[in-house]
Amino acid sequence: MKKKWIACFAAAVICANSGAIAVSAEEVDKNYNILALGDSITAGVGVNDYSESYVSILSEYLENPIDNRAESGMKSGELLSMVQSDSSVRDSIQNAEVILVSIGANDIMSPILETEIVQETDADGNPTKVFKVLNFNNPEEMLNSLDAKTRVKFQREITKAMPIAVATANENITAIAAEIKSLNSDADLIFQTVYDPLSITNDTTTLSENAISKINIMSSSMVYQYLNGSGENGTLIPIGLNSNIKDNENIQTVDIYENLLCNAWYYTNLKDMDVHPNAIGHMVIAASIVNSGCLPRGNGEAFAKAYENSGAVNTLAEQDAKADALVKSIYPLGDVDGDGYISVDDASGVLTQYANHAAGNGDVLNVLARFACDVDKNGEISVDDASIILEFYAKHAAGLVDSFDEFLSSK
Per-block mean pLDDT, blocks of 10 residues, the chain (411 long): 40 40 41 94 97 98 97 97 98 97 96 88 84 91 90 90 95 98 97 97 95 91 90 73 96 97 97 96 98 91 97 97 97 95 96 94 95 96 96 94 92 78
Is there a contact between 266 and 320 (Cβ–Cβ < 8 Å)? yes
Judge if 2-23+334-409 and 34-104+163-299 fold alike in CATH terms.
Answer: no
pTM of the model: 0.90
Note the pLDDT of residue 15: 41
C-alpha count within 13 angstroms, C-beta hemisphere, residue 123? 0
Sign of the alpha-carbon torsion through 44, 46, 52, 57: negative
Pairing of strands 117-121, 127-131: antiparallel
The amino acid at 53:
S
Residue 237 exposed, middle or buried by CB count within 10 Å (0-12, 13-18, 19+): buried
Q: Give Cα separations from 146 to 154, 160, 407 (angstroms).
A: 9, 19, 57
Q: What pLDDT does residue 233 have?
A: 54
Task: Specify the DSSP class assigned to residue 219.
Answer: I
Q: What is the model's pLDDT at position 234?
A: 54
Looking at CATH, the fold of the domain delimited by 2-23+334-409 is given as Type 1 dockerin domain (1.10.1330)
Coil, strand or helix at 233: coil
SS3 category, 389: helix
* Predicted pLDDT at 410: 87
What residues have CB less than 8 Å from 339, skipping those under 6 apart? 22, 25, 26, 297, 345
Would you list the domain boundaries of the chain? 2-23+334-409, 34-104+163-299
- pLDDT for res 1: 39
Q: Please give the pLDDT value at position 235.
A: 62
What residues form DSSP beta bridges with 390?
none
Superfamily per CATH, domain 34-104+163-299: SGNH hydrolase (3.40.50.1110)
* CB atoms inside a 10 Å sphere around CB 334: 24
